[in-house]
Structure 1
Amino acid sequence: MNMRNVESFAAGQWVSPGAGARNIASAITGDVIAQAGNDGLDVQAMLGYAHDVGGPALRKMTFHDRARMLKAVALYLREQRQTLYDLSYDTGATLSDHKIDVDGGIGTMLVFASKGRREMPDAQVYLDGPPEQLGREGQFWGRHVCTPLQGVAVHINAFNFPVWGMLEKLAPTLLAGVPAIVKPATATCYVTEACVRMMLASGLLPEGALQLVSGGLGDMLDHLDCQDAVAFTGSAQTALKLRTNPVLMERSVRFASEQDSLNASVLGPDAVPGTPEFDLFVKEVQREMTAKAGQKCTAIRRIMVHEAQIDAVISALSEHLAKTAIGDPRLETTRMGALVSAGQKRDVLEKAALIGAEAERVFGDPDNFEVVGADKEKGAFVPPMLFHCAAPDEAERVHDTEAFGPVSTIMPYRDLNNAIDLLNKGKGSLVASVITNDGDVAREMVLGAAAFHGRLYFNNRTSMAEATGHGSPLPHMVHGGPGRAGGGEELGGIRGVMHYMQRTAVQGSPDILTAIGKQWVPGATEITDRAHPFTRTFNDLDLGETFYSGSRVVTLDDIETFAHFTGDTFYAHMDDAAAKANPFFPGRVAHGYLLLSFAAGLFVQPDPGPVLANTGLDNLRFMAPVEAGDSIKVRLSVKHKTPRNEEYGEVRWHVTLTNQNDEAVAEYELLTMNAY
């Protein structure tokens, strides 16, 4: 086998391994297949390249530009993924494991691309919440805005997911407009390097947006400042060493950590043998113990079962584990491959021995198991190992020792409070799952345990067909956890993007805030000397273009006709005495939806034109009642514009209805799709 030289990409150049390079062995055969590392990397040049080249290029782009870029990169990788699959076998992973890693990473990029287009503006400033009126007359406002950090994000990733681990951090970072330096774990960095080469070869990323360190970071962290960020995934011990770096602390460099944790799964007291939940629980635990050979940060390490069901679960789970074919991951019959390295194998066996001091091993003998298609002595193979801790309340090691492999401990609980106490003895985890069909059980679990866990995953007969699994972090939801899990967060949709942006409170006049956020603020300059805005294309409309309608009198006949036509004969519209008895109404009043209908009649331009469709309204408020004999009129202003595709964009209109006394009676935001 040819030795693979795993290179770094630094300051625009590929750099071969040099002094300090480490050998990388195949998890299957133990043979050295690659080398990586170079102590001579110019880390200051890398940081300068990101700061001076990558950052400005990304910040010139809008959020939508970056979202389109992410989508294009993800689709490009999808076409190349077989190469990544083929490389990944030597990490010990099976094809199904590769799909979790490679396809999962690509899918995460696509989700962030979609969210960037749908939930962020086609602009360079993100508006965090609505504006706040700070002055009595409406001429002094404030709002929170988010802008990209003007530094670099250093991503330090774990060995278990060389593609997903990179892409799940990279997607929100690039969407925020921040360049990244990726440092994968050396044991599997050859897969990450191949993925980085693909992304750079695509030509879709701006120069300086992405760099790669294959090997050690050297003293890079010592040169970071307040505009930089570090995101780490790995062991608690390494995280502690990194987060206490004096430079990071002194300069308030952002540091997010996702660490190993003792994730757990609870079988609800209602889930007895014969129920769908019991069978589901056994399958979920078996899958989480053996996927990636248990080398997942979300894998189930502790299994909590009501004491009455302990024997049944041990029996059923052992039966499922016995069907797990272990061997060369390239074989179609293999269901679990090897650990990533011989060193990892030694660590898992050592940790399993510590757990064994408090628990009895009831399945899996590391000295006696079968491996198909490979030499189990040369490869990093271990069997699934299930332990039973009969007295978990007094135990310590089962709650603080993680064997990062296919090792888990089953333990009994007496009642729900005891189950919650056992869950929380892990002192913080990325995820805990509860298999139950009882909503009260779920609620008690949230109240008692949510504070200790980054994610609570509930599954039962209703959700099982669609549920993605205990161990599947989704880009839509937060990934991270308190305490031992690191206290950090990743993913979570647009929340993940915010980790690489600065939230700033800006204050000023309505015109100033409109200019900053590219969103019209009430009180800002109105443009009223143009043709009806519904006759003007998306591109021709400017923020603040405003239409004032004529007025219309609301009659008692209007109210009654609307009531009988729609069937809405609520007493406030039909019974004067009953309406007067209501503290909100002076007597019979017009329907709110009648007012909206009349408003549309007052501002709509009826002829065919650029307005293609009304797609809804947001933030509707009825502010004062309208009686028969009152009149209403409408002010319609262009608040915000968002391109949607090549044919049309979304216009958000600020709509205010006022009465004959110029008092606001209703307010909302109208959404239309307008042709360019």
Structure 2
Amino acid sequence: MHTLATLAPALGLTALQRGEQWPAASIAGQAHYPAHIPLPLVSPIDCAGHGELLPAGPAETELALATAQQAFTQWRLVPAPQRGELVRRIGDRVRTHKHELAALITLEAGKIISEAEGEVQEWIDICDFAVGLSRQLCGLTMASERAQHRLQEQWHPLGVVGVISAFNFPVAVWAWNAMLALVCGNSVVWKPSEKTPLCALAATRLVQDVVAGFDAAPAGLLGLLQGGTEAGRQLAADRRVALLSATGSVRMGRAVAQTVAARLGRSLLELGGNNAAIVTPSADLDLALRGIVFGAAGTCGQRCTTLRRLIVHESVADALLARLQAAYASLRIGDPRLPDTLIGPLIDHAALQQMQLALTAAEAQGGTVRQGGGGITQGVPNTGAYVAPALVSMPAQTAIVHEETFAPILYILRYRDLDEAIAMQNAVSQGLSSAIFSNDVREVEQFIGPAGSDCGLANVNAGTSGAEIGGAFGGEKDTGGGRESGSDAWRAYMRRATNTINYGSTLPLAQGVKF
């Protein structure tokens, strides 16, 4: 099994083998670190410490922003296809180090091997997407009402893009933002989760190596700020940050949005998800079972798209619950570095405590724990927060069901008609991902139609988790309304200019105005 010592040489983290304190990152060849409180490096696999990083403070954040702003003034002038060439080279470098990066994600975030490799594959995929996009940053040409005039639309680089990311996808979410931002002509400053600093450090060093060998790329194009919330607050408040993309809790997103809005800046928010799947009488239960179990238990329930509410027609509820209980009993829980493990640990013991509090509240509100929910100590590394994913039957959508607990708890509810089921799904404040399992075309069309799911992602005969990069990713309501990754999400990283071009010798005014 990989350890930090075996991964460090390939990922540029060799000094950590000697137990030294590492500065968070060097910005444009400089590092200024006063006596900050060190950031501990802890793996959720066994909660053992394996070093420290020095976090960035206000001085480092200011240096990163100043350097990024200077880099943007140069990078915006590089033709977009050349910017795409840089991203192509980044993608090639990631391919070379895919397994080492995935192993580091497993060590630091606790993801099983296949999920960690899938996350690195997302980075590779978004590079491929962004390279093609670099030749398709297209505006429109529009007819003018005035003779010898035309209207056209252009998209220009925006500025410094700040990225705040969460621990559960320590590389992919940053890559969604950074790779698109680069081809759109922007510089990037990244504030990763303090729970996964090594993933961010390894990713940044890998990219900086590519940037250093690319003649057109200025120094400071990609910056990294390790640490807690202070650097994030500074990014939100600084007018040089043209777009701040933030992934995390609703509470964090509200704070970011208010700070950015106060300076009339742009924010792109990817926040909480209290996701539901509806299982109708016509559903293929074998298909539904696969989608439900991965959606609810995968990543130990720590995805924003994790399935948290299962809304089942009363005619099939008992049969499906029996299948779910059998499937949950077969899940292999343990060290995520082992190839047969399906469920790794929660990120820390605070997450375990939140899970236990949620289960206690569910029982107090009339729920019954049908499966799992307890901590596991046998057959797992001694001090990690390992749990058995929980199945909880609820009489209704009580207060606890409306909350997003970042843990593998699946609340099971029953319904009688589809209107009732859709209303139950939409009753929560979050609006990220949703699913329906049905072989009835009328049910499907109702679900994905304007009076159906109110989420940004509405899936048919597929679970709530596992979105591909080709579509725009994001949600509505308390999820924040942001869109990342595919489709036309690139527009968030650019500014639009509408041009009126008069190629005649007179100057008529629009709407027939005479002056």
Are residues 1:144 and 2:153 paired? yes
Are residues 1:380 and 2:385 paired? yes
Following TM superposition, by how much is the alpha carbon of 1:448 offset from its aligned partner in structure 2, in angstroms?
Answer: 5.4
Q: Structure 2 residue aligned with 1:49, among 48, 57, 67?
A: 67
SS at match of 2:474: strand
1:276-287 to 2 correspondences below 5 Å:
277-287=284-294
Q: Structure 1 residue aligned with 2:348, among 315, 327, 341?
A: 341
Q: Look at both structures and tell me which one has the larger radius of gyration over its CA atoms.
A: 1
Which residue does 1:70 correspond to in 2? 87
Distance 1:4 1:422 in 2: 53
Which residue does 1:396 correspond to in 2? 399
Which residue does 1:434 correspond to in 2? 436
Distance 2:331 2:67 in 1: 48
- Does the CA contact (< 8 Å) of 2:456 and 2:474 recur in 1? yes
Q: Normalised by the size of structure 1, how large is the TM-score? A: 0.67
Distance 1:250 1:428 in 2: 24
Instruction: Describe the shift of the 1:446–1:222 C-alpha distance in structure 2 as closer, same or farther (beyond 3 A).
Output: closer
SS at match of 1:474: coil
Which residue does 1:662 correspond to in 2? none
Which residue does 2:44 correspond to in 1? 27
Q: Structure 2 residue aligned with 1:132, among 133, 143, 161?
A: 143
Distance 2:441 2:178 in 1: 37
Which residue does 1:580 correspond to in 2? none
SS at match of 2:449: helix
Report % sequence identity.
Answer: 24
Instruction: Describe the shift of the 1:303–1:198 C-alpha distance in structure 2 as closer, same or farther (beyond 3 A).
Output: same
- Does the CA contact (< 8 Å) of 1:351 and 1:402 recur in 2? no
- Does the CA contact (< 8 Å) of 1:181 and 1:212 recur in 2? yes
Q: Which has the higher contact order (CA 8 A, sep 6+)?
A: 2
Could you give the per-residue CA deviations for residues 253-297 of structure 1, whole angstroms, max 9, x where no partner exists?
A: 1011111110111112312xxxxx211111111111222111111
Which residue does 2:12 correspond to in 1? none
Instruction: Describe the shift of the 1:413–1:243 C-alpha distance in structure 2 as closer, same or farther (beyond 3 A).
Output: same
Following TM superposition, by how much is the alpha carbon of 1:370 offset from its aligned partner in structure 2, in angstroms?
Answer: 6.0
Distance 1:70 1:233 in 2: 22
- Does the CA contact (< 8 Å) of 1:157 and 1:234 recur in 2? yes
Aligned-residue CA RMSD (Å): 2.2
Q: Structure 2 residue aligned with 1:161, among 138, 163, 169?
A: 169
Following TM superposition, by how much is the alpha carbon of 1:107 offset from its aligned partner in structure 2, in angstroms?
Answer: 1.5
Following TM superposition, by how much is the alpha carbon of 1:364 offset from its aligned partner in structure 2, in angstroms?
Answer: 0.2
Following TM superposition, by how much is the alpha carbon of 1:511 offset from its aligned partner in structure 2, in angstroms?
Answer: 8.8
Which residue does 1:176 correspond to in 2? 184
Could you give the per-residue CA deviations for residues 572-604 of structure 1, whole angstroms, max 9, x where no partner exists?
A: xxxxxxxxxxxxxxxxxxxxxxxxxxxxxxxxx
Q: Structure 2 residue aligned with 1:192, among 192, 200, 207?
A: 200
Distance 1:227 1:295 in 2: 29
Q: Structure 2 residue aligned with 1:362, among 326, 349, 370?
A: 370
Aligned residues: 479
Distance 1:220 1:134 in 2: 46
Which residue does 2:508 correspond to in 1? none
Deviates further, 443-452 or 425-434: 443-452
1:82-481 to 2 correspondences below 5 Å:
82-90=99-107, 91-117=109-135, 119-120=136-137, 126-127=138-139, 129-135=140-146, 137=147, 139-149=148-158, 151-202=159-210, 203-204=213-214, 205-216=217-228, 217-218=230-231, 220-221=234-235, 224-225=238-239, 228-245=242-259, 248-271=260-283, 277-358=284-365, 359-367=367-375, 369=376, 371-375=378-382, 378-392=383-397, 395-398=398-401, 400-447=402-449, 450=452, 452-459=454-461, 470-481=464-475
Could you give the per-residue CA deviations for residues 186-211 of structure 1, whole angstroms, max 9, x where no partner exists?
A: 10121121111111112345422100
- Does the CA contact (< 8 Å) of 1:337 and 1:381 recur in 2? yes
Distance 1:87 1:14 in 2: 26
Distance 2:20 2:363 in 1: 39
- Does the CA contact (< 8 Å) of 2:313 and 2:416 recur in 1? yes
- Does the CA contact (< 8 Å) of 2:432 and 2:457 recur in 1? yes
Instruction: Describe the shift of the 1:180–1:190 C-alpha distance in structure 2 as closer, same or farther (beyond 3 A).
Output: same
Q: Normalised by the size of structure 2, how large is the TM-score? A: 0.88
Could you tell me which amino acid in structure 1 is paired with residue 200 of structure 2? Answer: T
Following TM superposition, by how much is the alpha carbon of 1:85 offset from its aligned partner in structure 2, in angstroms?
Answer: 2.2
Distance 1:213 1:291 in 2: 29
Instruction: Describe the shift of the 1:507–1:472 C-alpha distance in structure 2 as closer, same or farther (beyond 3 A).
Output: same
Distance 1:57 1:351 in 2: 51
SS at match of 1:243: helix
- Does the CA contact (< 8 Å) of 2:134 and 2:184 recur in 1? no
Instruction: Describe the shift of the 1:10–1:229 C-alpha distance in structure 2 as closer, same or farther (beyond 3 A).
Output: farther
Deviates further, 224-233 or 445-454: 445-454
Q: 5+ residue gaps in structure 2?
A: 6-16, 506-515
Q: 5+ residue gaps in structure 1?
A: 121-125, 272-276, 460-466, 513-676
Instruction: Describe the shift of the 1:314–1:243 C-alpha distance in structure 2 as closer, same or farther (beyond 3 A).
Output: same
Could you give the per-residue CA deviations for residues 10-58 of structure 1, whole angstroms, max 9, x where no partner exists?
A: 5313648751322232211111123231336432222111111x21232
1:472-621 to 2 correspondences below 5 Å:
472-493=466-487, 495-510=488-503
Following TM superposition, by how much is the alpha carbon of 1:146 offset from its aligned partner in structure 2, in angstroms?
Answer: 1.5
Could you give the per-residue CA deviations for residues 69-124 of structure 1, whole angstroms, max 9, x where no partner exists?
A: 2121111111012221222232211101212221122212212222333x33xxxx
Could you give the per-residue CA deviations for residues 427-484 of structure 1, whole angstroms, max 9, x where no partner exists?
A: 332110111121111111123555620011112xxxxxxx7x5312222212111112
Distance 1:4 1:85 in 2: 24
Distance 1:224 1:116 in 2: 28
Distance 2:504 2:422 in 1: 53
SS at match of 2:268: strand
- Does the CA contact (< 8 Å) of 2:98 and 2:120 recur in 1? yes
- Does the CA contact (< 8 Å) of 2:65 and 2:240 recur in 1? no
Could you tell me which amino acid in structure 2 is paired with residue 79 of structure 1? Answer: T
Could you tell me which amino acid in structure 2 is paired with residue 396 of structure 1? Answer: A
SS at match of 2:97: helix
Deviates further, 164-173 or 104-113: 104-113
Distance 1:477 1:83 in 2: 28
- Does the CA contact (< 8 Å) of 2:155 and 2:497 recur in 1? yes
Could you tell me which amino acid in structure 2 is paired with residue 242 of structure 1? Answer: V
Distance 2:240 2:105 in 1: 36
Could you tell me which amino acid in structure 2 is paired with residue 28 of structure 1? Answer: I
SS at match of 2:45: coil
Instruction: Describe the shift of the 1:200–1:240 C-alpha distance in structure 2 as closer, same or farther (beyond 3 A).
Output: same
Following TM superposition, by how much is the alpha carbon of 1:132 offset from its aligned partner in structure 2, in angstroms?
Answer: 2.1
